[in-house]
A and B are shown apart, each in its own frame.
Chain A
Amino acid sequence: MKRPAIFVRAAGAEPRGSSVQVVPPSGFTARLTVFSAAAMAFLAVFALALLLTSGRVAQSWGGELTRSATVRVSAPAGQMAAQVAAVLAVLETTPGVAAARALDAAEMQALLGPWLGAELPLATLPLPRLIEITETGAGPDVEGLRLRLQAEAPGAVFDDHARWRGPLVAAATRLKLLGLVAVGLIGAATAAMISLAAQAALAANGQVIRVLRLVGARDVFIARAFVRRFTLRALAGAALGTAAGMAAVAALPTLDATGAVLTAPGFVGPEWALPLAVPPLAALVAWAATRSAALVMLRGIR
């Protein structure tokens, strides 16, 4: 009998073999992985939007309110102009004050309109005058300024917005922290779900793994077969979820009148590029989770 050539061929290193898929296609784990990755990516996009929005709010509120202050002048109608002029004079010579100006009637109307109505006859009401101050970086000596104002214009009250600024900045910072936590939790949940799906697939393919070990497959080869599959599924699912998430964020309503106080929810300008990092990150998480699950399980099969 003629010997098959395959027996007489010298064993040794040869070019890479075929790309036969040694792991059989598995229906439910595939769908579970794609769905989990898509859902998590969708949530991750929203968490990212929350994180960036709250960051902008914190920066906006902290920055703008820190650099501004207000002097409210309450005085009888006959003395109002004199007291406003006195306050402006004091402010002009106060170190730490970059600019100061009294709000005119139109600006007062715009401020009070939303609360008291656009037709409000401001001239007939004994309203205080507001003086807006823009501070330099260091800001004025608040206590010294208050004393000087008390001396020059007894009806003037200096407000550095500290009452408002603290809680607002704290709330925005807390929101930013929550966004970060949410992103972290979503990453961990993604890893957990993909690990479970990978473990289910590995358990369902116990015989496949035993046969592969029997014919001399190294753990890395077997793990790679599963890891490649789950990584690609996670990438595909996360791409779908990210696209849906970005579309949903883009469809969020914009803020009109309140926009000056809050900020547009979602992504602004180059921030739109950030969600594009979600699919590769999800794939990376899937790669690490599946590899770890596979290597742990393989240790139980000699």
Chain B
Amino acid sequence: MIELQSVAMRYAGRELFSDVSLTLAAGTFHFLTGPSGAGKTSFLKLCYAELMASAGQLLVFGQEARTMQRDDVARMRRRIGVVHQDCQFLDHLTLAQNVALPLTVAGRAVNSDELRELLSWVGLSAQAEALPAQLSGGERQRAALARAVIQSPEFILADEPTGNLDWEMSLRLLALLVELNKMGKSVLIATHDLNLIRTAKAQVPARVLRIQNQRLQVAGADL
């Protein structure tokens, strides 16, 4: 599904990691950890072709990212749901319209009942008509997750999705991601939250990847 072959990544003039070979197969659950600035966000951006590898080969759904046409990139991103760390929205649209945006840009119908159900699932029913500026940090992250999964993507990439949430809401979002994983979707979460990782490992066979010293390692089982 996403395959890295001897991939190196440079950003802002410095090498973040190199010689990374890894396969993120369908239906897997991965966590990505590492110190701040190690390149976790860049790694995720690499996976949905916002950034390009400085060396090596990256295959997303069998297509080499570097040679993808722009329309191919757009089609690929419809198969990948991304939860950004900074949760960018269109400020003039309501939360419901923002969540439904992937369907809108794909020219697909928005079923209002299903949309309402999804918002309820992430605990945002009452905020459906609110503008992004009126939402709290936690509400924005839940909305970003809802937007990421509305197209029922094959792969979900989440960058610190619980960073602004309390523990109860973090568990609820984790439960959503675990549920999606059980439906056969791949999940990759970049996080610092070891408690979250431990909780997830109790529910799914999650693997932990760690970027450290410019290398990507599979972390030990003692987390």
Contact = CB atoms under 8 A, between A and B. Distances in A.
Interface of A: 1, 3-9, 11, 13-18, 20-22, 24-25, 207-208, 210-219, 221, 298-299, 302
A213 B52 CA distance: 16
Nearest to A214: B82
B90 A211 contact: yes
B70 interface: yes
Size category, B interface? 35 or more
Contact of A6 (B92, B106, B117): B117
B104 A218 contact: no
A9 B152 CA distance: 8
A218 B179 contact: no
Interface string B97-123: 100111111111111011101101100
Interface string B57-85: 00000000000001101110110001010
Contacts of B75: 216, 218
A15 B103 CA distance: 11
A8 B91 CA distance: 29
B24 interface: no
B178 to A, nearest CB: 10
B179 A3 contact: yes
A6 B111 contact: yes
B106 A17 contact: yes
A6 B148 CA distance: 12
A5 B104 CA distance: 18
Interface in B149-172: 149-152
Contacts of A4: 114, 117-118, 120-121
B50 interface: yes
A96 B179 CA distance: 100
Contacts of B30: none
A219 B71 CA distance: 7
B204 interface: no
B49 A302 contact: yes
Contacts of A216: 74-75, 77-78, 102, 105-106, 151
A24 to B, nearest CB: 4
17 contacts: A1-B175, A1-B179, A3-B183, A4-B118, A7-B183, A11-B151, A17-B103, A22-B105, A210-B88, A212-B90, A212-B101, A214-B77, A215-B78, A216-B75, A216-B102, A216-B105, A219-B74
Among A8, A13, A22, A215, find the residue whose CB has the most chain B CB atoms closer than 10 A: A215
A20 B97 contact: yes
Given A214-B82, A216-B105, A221-B107, 12 more contacts: A4-B118, A5-B117, A6-B117, A9-B111, A11-B151, A13-B108, A24-B90, A214-B77, A214-B84, A216-B151, A221-B105, A302-B52
